Chain A
């Protein structure tokens, strides 16, 4: 479903990724592992076409980085849920508004938005905080809101870039469990992490990166 062929991104300062050829399969949970600065985030950014490869190409479902338009990139992103280490919530909006944002911007009816957001917030255990400003939440709560925002639009793919990087072990575990649950419901999840303790007991597919390239272990 996601095909990376000789993906190369050159930032001109020695950083970037080089000749990555791999596949990510529908419904899989894939762990992208490697030290900080090895290119995991760059690979993720290519997946939601925030940056386009300098050489090689990536295809995600029917979208091809070689011939994708700006409008198609927006469509692609509407089908992908993205979770960041720094949460990237709009802090002066309420929890409800943050989670509802992907539905609001695609013009969903008010009733659907309320029902869907309520169900998701209930599922992640944050229904009682729906009216609070996102900025007033703890790190763990913020990341759960970010996950809720990522899955509210029922994406076909969830990209989680170091989602537990800023969290204590307990909150990190909660977030990881939530991602597992999302995957169990059929959504493809790709998670970049260097938190090896968190993933030591799971048998998900692992891809290792180092200095911008894939590493065979």
Chain B
């Protein structure tokens, strides 16, 4: 019966303050959709950079006339560079095979000879892929005897490093600001609710009701507001994904998949923010307002 009473009180509170509650749900929905959108973007940036780091290679092209002995010596010298994780030798024949695989043409049929130089494909340790470190490694490799040219995607590396950090930083900033905004919003609706029911709270206190019994309807109220805001955020994100897909799928052959787990994350996150904000608000305001009245 206690639980039924608390649930009933929760819905009475929600119904009494329906306009502020509705405003809170919409605002939480919009904020939460931005928060989750930014979160997904930051995550995507992070995983893309991570994948790029994983696949990042330096190609070291050798003089075509190097002897086996010289190639072997060069490999030893490369092994001494501690930033290097893996060295893969690509002979002239192997280069021709790769060329055929990638372009569908046999290099011998086009040019009657194989101009492709032998090369080393080098992978660095993940933590050594910072542009400055890569630059140093490339400089060291370039100075080795027998190396003709060193190539790597320098611009992409710099862009990835710069923008992934920026996206993560800006994303975290926006997420934090919006979480604080949602917290303030829920706190304010609970404040209104507590103020509207200050006499009832004072009566319950006089009857000997415990703080938790008094606060619980407000905590449930915050939880419901947050969860409904989360559901609305899920709806907005779904809509956003569909719009993006409609506009880009004719240009690029890609589509964003709206996973149902985004709904779950949005609802759970909204509910958690709601519980946290409302329990703090109810605790601080209930004594303040109740004392004012009686």
Contacts and interface: CB of A to CB of B under 8 A. Distances in A.
B212 to A, nearest CB: 10
A77 B210 contact: no
B206 A104 contact: no
B203 interface: yes
Decide if the interface of chain B is mainly helix, strand, loop or mixed: helix
B206 A105 contact: no
B1 A108 contact: yes
Most buried by B among A71, A89, A105, A107: A105
B207 A107 contact: no
Interface in B1-60: 1-2, 5, 12
B195 to A, nearest CB: 16
Contact of B208 (A90, A97, A102): A102
Contacts of B12: 92
A105 B203 contact: no
A76 B2 contact: no
B1 A110 contact: yes
A50 B262 CA distance: 49
Given A90-B200, A92-B12, A105-B213, A77 B207 contact: yes
Q: Name which of A74, A80, A107 has the most chain B CB atoms within 10 A of its CB.
A: A74
Contacts of A105: 2, 204, 207-210, 213
A105 B199 CA distance: 17
A75 B208 contact: yes
Nearest to B197: A90
Interface residues of B, number: 16
A101 B206 CA distance: 12
A20 interface: no
A113 interface: yes
Nearest to A81: B207
A113 B203 CA distance: 19
Nearest to A112: B1
Contacts of B5: 97, 104
B200 A104 contact: no
Contact of B206 (A48, A75, A92, A100): A48
Contacts of B207: 77-78, 82, 101-102, 105, 149
B2 A107 contact: yes
Contacts of A80: 208
A104 B208 contact: no
Contacts of B1: 100, 104, 108-110, 113
A55 interface: no
A180 interface: no
